[in-house]
Amino acid sequence: MEGSRQWRAVEDQLIPPALFAAMREAGPLPVAVPATAEEYLAGRRALLERRMTEVDAKAAADTLEDVRISGGTMKIAPLKAITPEAAEDAAERFYAMMPNARITAVLDDVHRWTGFADAFTHLHTGLLADDPRVVLTAVLADATNLGLTRMAAACAVASYRKLAWAAGWHLREDTYCQALATLVDAQQRQPLAALFGAADVSSSDGQAFLTAGRGEALSAHNARHGHGREGSGLFYTHVSSRHAPYHTASIPPLGEAAYVIDGLLYHEADLGISVHHTDGGGVSDHVFALAHLLGFRFAPRIPNLADRKFHAFGPASTRPELAPFIAGKPDGQLIAAQWGDLLRLTASVRTGTVSASLLLRRLGAYPRQNGLALALREIGRIERTLHALDWLERPQLRRQATAELNKGESRNALARAVCFHRLGRLHDRTAQAQQHRVSGLALVTAAIALWNTVYLGRALEAAQRRGDRVPDALLTHFAPLGWQHLNLTGDYLWGADASLGPNGFRPLRGAAVALPTAATA
């Protein structure tokens, strides 16, 4: 559509050809692949041939761990739980030492540590709010799904008019992003968080929330997430391996794959993500391709892997064990013909000229008519095949993906507990209102994760002072996402439970409780 920002031709949404030619001549381009298609194809052909040969040989010798390939069938044994009982017992004992606190006290403490509420500046003046508690109360109204009217009745710091003014002038998508980045960076710096996971690994998943009324007006019906004719909204969140939700978006409940790359690129936290996991909802060949072109290792958990056919450059007959799963050969000529536009597409996404989600949605809508979409799919088939071979050969990759996705599920459970008002049903009817809701929810869950991490660390220090040594192997199984010790309901009062010690921290409970030692664990 001529003149449209969203519905014009895909090629018109990319960096203009003249500007891209100048960028290419000046170099280097912000891409993670060679400058020529010949270099890319030669490297991937050699790697794919080698990996096919290695995995086929192991399949023939039946030496693939927990994988059996025989007679055209593929069976991957389910992973066994590896969390030791000692870790569960230690986590329970540590949480028993955590101080009880209201959610308002948690936000107050975290703001005192990080100053994250200072990100909510005035839209016109850029000044800080006169009282950060008012802004944080408005954030809680978003996060808990209570709304400003009921929050005004449940809090003692502001009237509805004052909360609405603060929300209108201080709560915006950009200020929410800056505040969230502050919390994520603080979480990454915690010594205990380093034991939770690697700094360059993350995962993403969608969480559905039913809406309060019918969804015809929003086209929000979804057979997977909705119930009957009820509409639903989908909150898609990226979570670091250290339990910090670093990007979140309210998306239509029609597919998650298009939004995977957005979270990896368009966050403001100081993260260097290199490996990203999703479940089956985030999988598509276009995502595999674009992630590789941008330099990310996309490592999803693909359901029914045998049904996702492999692609090989050489004849399938040379790999008898894998031959039943090979569907064809990547079209190298198409990739070479479109290579310049593929680089322009990647540079456009990296520089923010066009968002990854918009581009992937457009390309996914007409792959048979668009040569660029077809070429991107061919690259995706190569990268998906390489990932599938690694998945079959490396059980540690399967365990890592499952562990990271479980972290996302645990964070979703915490989000569900926070967003409990109105039976957890969303009453927002606009995209902006739902984005504020998901942003507030991400911010509050990130604050809880940071608060829990700090106090779990203090509990660990207290145990060590008593001579109780808890091995790091147990601490890696901890998650700072518990909320049994937190009061998420009732009146939202500030300063009502102020019990800070002279060191600025709340006293631990049950300091005399014995914890498992390295010997007993």
DSSP string, 30-54: S-SS-SSHHHHHHHHHHHHHHHHHH
Q: 10 Å Cβ neighbour count for 369?
A: 8
* Residue in the structure block whose two tokens are 């939770």: 196
- The answer to whether 468 touches 90, Cβ cutoff 8 Å, is no
> How, if at all, do strands 245-251 and 230-240 pair?
antiparallel
Phi first, then psi: what are they for 79, rounded to 5°?
-70, 145
In this prediction the pTM is 0.92
What letter does residue 155 receive in the DSSP assignment?
A: B
Q: Can you give 205-256 as a three-state secondary structure string?
A: EEEEEEEEEECHHHCCCCCCCCCCCEEEEEEEEEEECCCCEEEEEEECCCCC
Identify the pLDDT of residue 514.
Answer: 47
By the 10 Å C-beta count (0-12 exposed, 13-18 middle, 19+ buried), 148 is classed as buried
What is the Cα 380 distance to its own chain's centre? 21
Report pLDDT for 54. 97
The helix (run of H) or strand (run of E) holding residue 68 is: strand 67-70
**Are 460 and 94 spatial neighbours (Cβ–Cβ below 8 Å)?**
yes
Contact between 122 and 170 under an 8 Å Cβ cutoff? The reply is yes
Residue type, 484: Q
- Beta carbons of 172 and 123 less than 8 angstroms apart: yes
Tokens 């692609």, residue located:
311
Per-10-residue mean pLDDT for the chain, 521 residues long? 67 91 93 96 97 96 94 90 87 94 95 97 95 96 92 92 96 96 97 96 94 51 50 89 96 88 96 96 96 98 90 92 94 96 96 93 75 94 97 96 96 95 76 89 98 96 88 92 91 79 87 42 36
Phi, psi of 418 (to 5 degrees): -75, -45
pLDDT at residue 512, rounded to an integer: 40
Give the bridge partners for 75, in sequence order: 68
Joined together, the tokens standing for residue 195 give 């034991």
User: Is the separation of the CB atoms in 438 and 430 below 8 Å?
Assistant: no
- Residue-by-residue DSSP string for 326-343: EEE---HHHHHHTHHHHH
Token couple for 396: 């540690």
Residue type, 262: D
- In sign, the C-alpha dihedral spanning 406, 408, 410, 416 is negative
Q: What is the DSSP string of 160-200?
A: HHHHHHHHHHH--HHHHHHHHHHHHHHHHH-TTHHHHS-TT
Pairing of strands 67-70, 73-76: antiparallel
Helix (H) or strand (E) holding 276: strand 275-277
Which residue, 140, 10, 52, is CA-closest to 445? 140
Distances (CA, A) of 122 to 110, 135, 296, 469: 21, 11, 36, 48
